[in-house]
Amino acid sequence: MGMAVDPRRTALALGRFGLGARPGDLARGEPVEEVLRREILAGTVPLPTGPDLGSTPTLLTALRAEEQARKLARAASPDAPMPEGPPAPSIEQRTYQAEVAARLALAREAQTGFIERLVWFWANHFTVSAARGPQIRVSAGAFEREAIRPHVLGRFRDLLLAAATHPAMLIYLDNVASIGPNSPAGLRRGNGPGKGLNENLGRELLELHTLGVDGGYGQDDVTALARILTGWSLHRDGNAEGLPGATAFRRGAHEPGAVTLLGRTYLDVGPEQLRMALDDLAAHPSTARHVATRLARHFVADDPPPALVARLARTFLDQDGDLSRVVLALVEAPEAWEPVQRKIRSPQEFTVAAMRGLALAPDPRMAMGGLAALGQPFWSAPAPNGYADDAGTWASPEGLRARLDLAARTGQLAAGTDPMAFAEAVLGPLATDETRTVIRRAESRAQGVALVLMAPEFQRR
């Protein structure tokens, strides 16, 4: 006999673990725990689709061709009159909008949204930011499709290697220009200013992606990992090895010799040197603790319960970094079902929850404008540590004003919706008497819908 269905627990779970309830979701007859377990154990991570969603090498090659064509046009006719009408969108604009549209479509249709939330979590953990420039703006969505999605329910070591060696990460953290000082390329160049070793990727791999800032490494380890990473770059021209823009290991730029990282020595065996080092970092107890802390903070509380963090870290180590087992332990943890809604929905979660709850067709341009106003455009974090994951960041007075504006605009779009029915569909038993009274007193349906969206029970999860 199956578990009894608790509507309050269902409403809580669809906000805390998922992307919010859709019409009819709270009335379903299956316990939400069983739905979450099935999604995790199925291991299926949907892929966004669309005609403008190319591979990273294809997109980078097209971007370079477009930039060269613009330069040639300017050089050929510097005094030519400006063409009438708005300019055609660039490949980076077209691609970025197409990637956002594809994410919104997946998020709107997902049964719970839990798998999408995991993808967003890991894409933020391994941040590449479109704010860096056209190359990342055109490839950030592809990075998520190629390096993140295939591994969010797999082994952490596979996710780590895929993210660290993806062209977008190599560009974003400047590894494409990192040359071993004693490599053939380094010796030809000499060690002048601005040349040679770049430690950005090595530092962030240790501080953000694996061990954490207090994970027990030092500056010598940053330099050691940077040396191991030398030579990981991109193909510049099409040849038998791969398209321009694909990841390449350039032996002539790789620092020769053995390297000692965290007390362990890695022989110079070409690209395998990095794979071995990352495998060991992926299995490190500090990595387990760092990943467990970030997952618990994201899904449960800004100050996560220590017992939950310890349990997730132990599962990570015992299960060889199997992320499906870690997130299964998360959704089965009693601490994760605390009835008090402690987390604030991020702008992305808020925007998508509103779209799902009102059954609105995804409007990528409106969503992009709204997320820019709220401070969380897709793949555009201001620094490599990604978007913040705490209430203080998102519940600022400016942030709440921007949410109120977006809620009012959304209410106008859904002015035909009955606010009380909407509250029942998305909040159900979570809605307090106070919230219900405020909604009933709304001067219009549009205002009533906006009040549901701004209710504490909708803003929190």
What is the number of helices (H) and of strands (E) in the chain? 23, 4
Residue-wise pLDDT tens digits, 403-440: 999 999 999 999 999 999 999 999 999 999 999 999 99
Residue 82 has pLDDT above 70, yes or no: no
Residue-wise pLDDT tens digits, 216-261: 999 999 999 999 999 999 988 655 556 778 999 999 999 999 999 9
Comparing 3-12, 220-229, 276-285, the range with the smallest average pLDDT is 3-12
pLDDT value at residue 71: 86
Rounded distance between C-alpha atoms, residue 407 and residue 351, angstroms: 9
The rounded percent of the chain whose pLDDT value lies above 90 is: 88
Residue-wise pLDDT tens digits, 320-330: 999 999 999 99
- Summarize the confidence of residues 356-360 as an average pLDDT: 96
Other C-beta atoms lying within 10 Å of the C-beta of residue 382: 12
pLDDT value at residue 67: 87
**Residue 295: C-alpha distances to residues 31, 126, 290, 327 (Å):** 23, 13, 9, 8
Rounded distance between C-alpha atoms, residue 16 and residue 457, angstroms: 11
Rounded distance between C-alpha atoms, residue 461 and residue 355, angstroms: 16
pLDDT value at residue 239: 53
For residue 180, count CB atoms less than 10 angstroms from its CB and return exposed for 0-12, middle for 13-18, buried for 19 or more.
buried
Residue-wise pLDDT tens digits, 281-310: 999 999 999 999 999 999 999 999 999 999
- Measured between its terminal Cα atoms, the distance across the chain in Å is 30
Residues 6+ away with beta carbon under 8 Å from 164: 201, 205, 209, 229, 274, 278
Rounded distance between C-alpha atoms, residue 440 and residue 445, angstroms: 10
Residue 398 has pLDDT above 80, yes or no: yes
pLDDT value at residue 193: 47
